[in-house]
Amino acid sequence: MPCLVALFALISPRLAIFLLWLFTDRMTLAFTSGWLGIFGFLFLPWTTLAWTICYAPIFGVSGFGYIVVLFGFVLDISSYASSKNLNRN
């Protein structure tokens, strides 16, 4: 299953989040509120996907997981910045 999620994440992070929500319980474990998952799905999909994958039920996100989540956040910000730059040109 992790390889399939990685392949779908390359196509679209929102598709990978949807498949994780549909076939696993990681989305409900990673987010205490459903609103966080919905807002993450809409506005920060790479960060939400990274948080969901790095989340461990007992410890939460720790150690190297924070670096992965930070990388997801950088991907989100860079995608918004590049789309803004393309629209300006």
Residue 1: predicted pLDDT? 65
Q: Is residue 66 over pLDDT 80?
A: yes
- What is the per-residue pLDDT for 67? 94
- HSE value, Cβ hemisphere, 13 Å, CA-based, for 73: 7
* Residues paired with 45 in a beta bridge: none
Cβ pair 51, 61 in contact under 8 A = yes
What is the model's pLDDT at position 84? 64
Task: Compute the C-alpha angle 57/8/24, nearest 5°.
Answer: 30
Rounded to two decimals, the pTM is 0.84
pLDDT digits (tens, 9 = 90+) for 9-57: 888 999 999 988 888 888 888 888 889 889 999 999 999 999 998 888 7
C-beta separation of 7 from 20 below 8 A: no
